[in-house]
Structure 1
Amino acid sequence: MRNIPWIPSVSSGIHRRILNASLVILPSFRGRKMIYGFSISLILINLASIMERADENLLPAVYKEVSAAFDAGPTDLGYLTFIMNFLKSIASPLAGVLALQYDRPTILAIGTVFWALSTGAVGVSQYFQQVAFWRGVNGVGLAIVIPSLQSFIADSYRDGTRGAGFGLLSLIGSIGGIGGSIVATVMAGRDYWGFPGWRFAFIVVAFASLLIGFLVYFYTVDPRKTSPGNFGDDDTHERSRLVGNSVFPPLSIWKDSWITARSVMKVRTFQIIVLQGIVGSLPWTAVVFFTMWFELIGFDNKSSAGLNSLFAIGCASGSFLGGVIADRVSRRYPDSGRIMCAQFSAFMGIPFTWILLTVIPQSVDYWYSYAVTLFLMGLTISWCATCANNPMFAEVVPPKHRTMIYAFDRAFEGSFSSLAAPAVGMVTEKVYGYNAKTVNLADGSVAGAYALSRGLLTMMIVPFGLCCLFYTPLYFVFKRDRDNARLAASAKDLELM
């Protein structure tokens, strides 16, 4: 793979031809195999997203039961989330390297096997250290899967509809998050054949994930195979020749991966989105404590599951709504529309966090107040990834670099945001006096709920404000980076012709 400059030296007439060529509309999805008018590839990719989100939501939904089983406090529980998120982040570039050697269905299957086996292992672990180890393995599996899913969608939709494409993936994937949270929270309240319900939930999700992984491997078609003309160059053909010739990527692949990574990290838009994402991801990591907070207030398992479900439904609907709105706004304001939508979404996290954690009395009598607030909060704060970040990433690099840019975004953002969960635990215990040994997890605790709410407030309201502010430089750099990527991709196509 040659290190091709992203701003080719061509005449003004060729410039116009290149820009026109870059606007060719791609089909909304390229999978050839259909069933009842739906692409099998699309169905399976969304099923993989459902199971991925279900897996991520399992542990937070049973924090109380895990705390009782292993005598763990909020800080210990936060470390479990930290270990998974940190390894999920730093291992993400592996997905970009694998994309140069294997088709994405193969990569997705590899990652699914990792997370399925580790999820089942958590369900049978007898010591806290075992849970921590398998959560780390789980993070590696998710690190391989998530960037591959994102680049798969980016290659399947044209520029003007990617917000809706990513929003749809998020909406359908959220079904898994909601289902995983509900199933785990409800099952945690009873035993099955003498087996604790929370453990049984982990094993069920593990088997379902493994099944989806096999189906993705055998029946999903990579968009690059069905429309090679849109992505093909000498590098793509070289990758196709290498597939299946060796188990491990050859040395040339590692060299090409380094060149690609350097090119991606030089893009200003990438740098700015990663900067805002480092702080913008902190609140989303902190919300894993919502279930524990509800139960400390005094809500039972079903009431807590209902509140979490409404928040998840709001987030799922908001991610799709934000993507669709941004698509329409970007047609009118192509250089700034997506940025404005992202800033609005980040700003809305400030008032809703304040209302949720400080204004509504922490009592079981206010379930409906919590329900409405959580739904509206999820509906408005969940836009950023689908309305701006993911669609803009696809526009500022050539197609062959897309898996790598999503992988490095996860690496930088996730590695820092993973600190939020243990930070919430430490603030809750050290600053606000939460004591796991004196708190009654079975019947709730006023003091424990107050302490945890203040820890959440600290780790949510300030990052939301900084996230909104850090989007501002994109007004000055996004247009230039997008035009450079279009020129580079189209110039390569003309060269091959």
Structure 2
Amino acid sequence: MPEQSKRRRGRKRTAAATLLLAYAALAMERADAALLPAVYREIGAALQASPTALGSIVLSRSVVQAACYPLAAYLAARHDRLTVIALGAFLWAAATLLIGLSTTFAQPELWSLRKSNDAILQMAVTAALNGVGLALQIPAIFAFVADSVDGTNRGMAFGWLMVASKAGTVGGTTLGLLMAPTSFFGVPGWRLAFLLLAALVGFSHGETAALMTLFKVATSLGGLFGGKMGDVLAGRLKNSGRIILAQISAGSAIPLAGVLLLALPSEPATFAHHGAALFVMGFMASWNTSATNSPILAEIVPPRSRTSVYALDRTFEAVLASFAPPVVGMLAEHLYGYKLVRSAAGGAGHAASVETDRHNATSLARALYTAIAIPMALCCLVYSFLYCTYPRDRDLARAETARDGGGARPSGEGSDTDDEGEEERELLPL
């Protein structure tokens, strides 16, 4: 008996370490994804590229990533999920290395003499290759976490997964911003998407990094809070608790984004006000994934199919999200009057550049708010349908799992076997 207890503790420690490694893998993936968006404005200035053209880089990666999610489901159904996670990490790391080599060791004059469209196309193709590895990793990580904890703690488990994700994003964003004002072997540091607004307002790179770090910390805390509250409300209102929380979170983003993007003046002196608004918005608008989406998917889907369903979920999310940068760019340019920054010499040129930056900040803020408010309103509406479908689907899934004896995959196929299931499900003492 003592020997059996010792083996059980050993398996539990091993399973806990594996779960932590899955969290670390997602953190590294998010850091990788944040590196390019952290170096956006210099790309536009160097290539004279519009926000729409720059958005095509993110679009290409997201489209390829979405297209490859079915491949992740196929591999996870036939191989151990941890193997799929490791393969995805290797692929995106290799693609990131190729991006670094192509920008670091290419001849500097290549970037100045090549046509802007050719350079943007080259970056878009490289980013698309990066999306293949990302597509393999994310669904397998979510499915692995869902399998590792029981239903009463899934919200907190996905909350910690969000913390890992945001920690990686903070690391990648900070690294990119610190590199932005420097150059390496004659190649300038670059920076990308949402950070453009803060830079145009006049915040320094350090202030911009601090604002984005504050926002990611807020979303991490919000993810944990949302996950815990989702577990609590699911225990008290089993048919509607998680859905109510998601609607509160999505609905709060609309007025909070309005305060941040439209009400606050575009002045560097408002750094503290922007920080407070970012923190509140990040905390309130980040509950959905950990409180509702991921736990509900884990409840209504048999264990053997979770990777496939998370892959499908990521596909829809990536496809829709991939259009955000180009849409914001087109709104800013064609509806709100965004102007390309042209280099000019002398004090008059500098003053004109500052004025153009302020104008562009307002244009981008309005475009961003439009791209946030409308989807969030639709999100609240769509969540309403869950009041009708979720209870029935959950009960059907439980009945199917009971008939299948827990829904485990055949032995030898990896992460859904039952021999260590109970130990893994007790990993989070929350």
Cα 1:386–1:372 change in 2 (3 A) is: same
Q: Which residue does 1:461 correspond to in 2?
A: 373
- Pick the aligned partner of 1:146 from 118, 121, 138: 138
Query: Does the 8 A contact of 1:396 with 1:482 survive in 2?
Result: yes
Q: Which residue does 1:306 correspond to in 2?
A: 210
- Structure 2: how far apart are the matches of 1:168 and 1:142? 20
Q: Which residue does 2:28 correspond to in 1?
A: 51
Shift of 1:317: 0.9
Alignment of 1:331-370 (within 5 A): 331-370=235-274
Identity across the alignment (%): 38
- Structure 2: how far apart are the matches of 1:110 and 1:399? 21
- Aligned to 2:265, the other structure's residue is in SS state coil
Cα 1:179–1:488 change in 2 (3 A) is: same
Q: Which residue does 2:11 correspond to in 1?
A: 32
Shift of 1:495: 11
Shift of 1:31: 8.8
Q: Indicate yes or no: 2:95 matched with 1:118.
A: yes
Alignment of 1:36-115 (within 5 A): 39-115=16-92
Query: Does the 8 A contact of 2:40 with 2:196 survive in 1?
Result: yes
Shift of 1:34: 3.5
- Structure 2: how far apart are the matches of 1:30 and 1:398? 27
Q: Indicate yes or no: 2:318 matched with 1:410.
A: no
Query: Does the 8 A contact of 2:300 with 2:397 survive in 1?
Result: yes
Q: Which residue does 1:177 correspond to in 2?
A: 169
- Structure 1: how far apart are the matches of 2:10 and 2:77? 20
Q: Which runs of 5+ in 1 are unaligned?
A: 1-28, 200-287
Cα 1:30–1:50 change in 2 (3 A) is: farther
Under a length normalisation based on structure 2, what TM-score does the superposition of the two structures give? 0.83
Q: Indicate yes or no: 2:179 matched with 1:187.
A: yes
- Structure 2: how far apart are the matches of 1:485 and 1:96? 19
Query: Does the 8 A contact of 1:31 with 1:40 survive in 2?
Result: no
Alignment of 1:79-478 (within 5 A): 79-123=56-100, 124-125=102-103, 126=111, 127-192=119-184, 194-198=186-190, 289-438=193-342, 445-478=357-390
- Aligned to 2:405, the other structure's residue is in SS state helix
Q: Deviations over 1:87-112 (max 9, x none)?
A: 21221111110012211121112211
Q: Deviations over 1:366-425 (max 9, x none)?
A: 000000000110000001111000000011111101001000111122212211110000
Query: Does the 8 A contact of 1:290 with 1:308 survive in 2?
Result: no
Q: Which residue does 1:480 correspond to in 2?
A: 392
Q: Aligned-residue CA RMSD in angstroms?
A: 2.3
Q: Deviations over 1:52-97 (max 9, x none)?
A: 1111111111101222333322111111111111221221111110
- Structure 1: how far apart are the matches of 2:67 and 2:315? 5
**Matched pairs, number:** 378
- Structure 1: how far apart are the matches of 2:406 and 2:165? 38
Amino acid at match of 1:163: G
Q: Deviations over 1:440-477 (max 9, x none)?
A: 89857111111111111111111111111110111111
Q: Which runs of 5+ in 2 are unaligned?
A: 1-7, 104-110, 112-118, 344-349, 409-430
- Aligned to 1:92, the other structure's residue is in SS state helix
Shift of 1:137: 0.9
Q: Deviations over 1:296-333 (max 9, x none)?
A: 11111111111111111111110111001110111011
